[in-house]
Structure 1
Amino acid sequence: MITFPNAKINLGLNIVEKRPDGYHNLETVFYPVPIEDALEVNVLNESGRKFRLHQAGLEIEGEAENNLVVKAYKLLDAQFDLPPVEIHLFKHIPSGAGLGGGSSDAAYMLKLLNEKFCLKLTEETLEEYAARLGADCAFFIRNTPTYAEGIGNLFSPIRLSLKGYRIVLVKPDLFVSTREAFSQIRPHRQETPLREVIERPIEEWKKLMTNDFEESVFPQFPAIGEIKEKLYRQGAIYAAMSGSGSSVFGLFRPEDDALPEDIIWGERAFVYQGILK
């Protein structure tokens, strides 16, 4: 059985306050993007093993035991004593990009196991399991536009459709430390709450919607900020960094043509152009 975990972008990301536990409360909007990994699970006919993980595509650092798809399997296995599985994971979503690739893989693994082994878990229960694996994992269970609060784990559905809009997403060959990005954040509340901004016409987002991480990341990595400016020069109606970086996306009107292929985004940059659903 095979499935295709997709990425997400953050439409706005505001760090509103620091919590007593050291974490930060934020507000953001998650929107699904059709950049996809491929995930396949089959029953493993091999004695003495509970799982075998095969990885291909973009390189994934770390041991198999620490991969979120394996953690998702172990989470359900502890509850339902699942058969041993052979997992094939092809990575196309860049890691460390603010696109939620690992979280999506984990959520889709839960959904795939639920279907394959007829566990009959509801979406609500799957969200509870997903939340144990990461703050934004639960978003990918329903995988619809969502307003997120708390540490990115409290979800509310929103009415938002960008269907037909073109997206250009660029992930330069740069690594941004999320911990370092948070350390330089100054929590504050925007004059216009994000939930209100997202209801305005997209043409107004440029002036009203921000990603607070840009303030700390762009001075350290000017090339990331330059990508955002280049997207605006090419006609984007809204552009921003996703999450804490390092990917940057631009939204273009449905009638706009794709960007010229001769644009230089940086050596070894990952570039995606597509149409939102």
Structure 2
Amino acid sequence: MARTIEVQPISGALGAEIVGVDLAGELSNEAFDAVHRAFLDHHVIFFRDQNNLTPEKHKAFGRRFGTLNVHPYVKGMDGHPEILEIIKEPEEKTNFGGGWHTDMSFLEEPALGSILHAIEVPPCGGDTLWANQHMAYDALSDGLKQTLGGLTAIHSAKGEYGPKGQSAHNRQSMDTTMAPDAPEFEHPVVRTHPETGRKGLYVNPAFTMHFKGWTRRESRPLLNYLFEHCRQEQFTCRFRWEAGSVAFWDNRSTWHFALNDYQGHRRHMRRVTVNGDRPF
């Protein structure tokens, strides 16, 4: 089966479409290894025409990579707590994931990756962008790399899922819990990928609060610089969804951004998140 798998890059920075894989079927070890290699090489991989991917099969594919996360602040799908039903109805103004971020960096052991399956998409709009954080790190000066290598950042969900956060408002379709007292966890600003050994930046606008030992005011100028740097166009790719499409991205090496440009149309996605380990 692996001999029939094609890996087609979609940009110079990251992202590849995988042809010849049915995620609803039984992946041989050889085929799984080919998919896993593409995942590590390209940081986000895409599959088209996966209309037969049931919730059970969706979870089964995710479990090939690790245990599955149950989101602490968003209620999962009925009967499948590991699956988030990400729905935006035509009348809703705010979308889920509508800003640059890395999934679940607010946990002590953040997510390895996320697997998103498109059930219903608008006729146009609703694309997702990803940014390669290895490339963002590599593009920094040696002096700034040295400075950042000694820093730790504080991550928490209390901003995004607090009373004023984007993830806690204006989405009647998702059962979200506000978390003004969410815990804080420390992660290195420069993370080493546990499988490839590559270094990458590990801060994001949604969940990184400040640097350890720095005030928020002191942290803001440098964080803002990094946030602007990390989302530069040359580090990104963009994917146009179709019903049945699947994206699987590495949260250890990417940011992503769900565009909110389809007002008046419904968008329905299902997400499984694979648990990861503590950054180092």
Q: What is the TM-score normalised by the length of structure 1?
A: 0.30
Instruction: With a CA cutoff of 8 Å and minimum separation of 6, indicate the structure with the bigger relative contact order.
Output: 2
Q: What is the TM-score normalised by the length of structure 2?
A: 0.30
Going by fraction, where is helix more abundant, 1 or 2?
1
- Which of the pair has more CA radius of gyration? 1
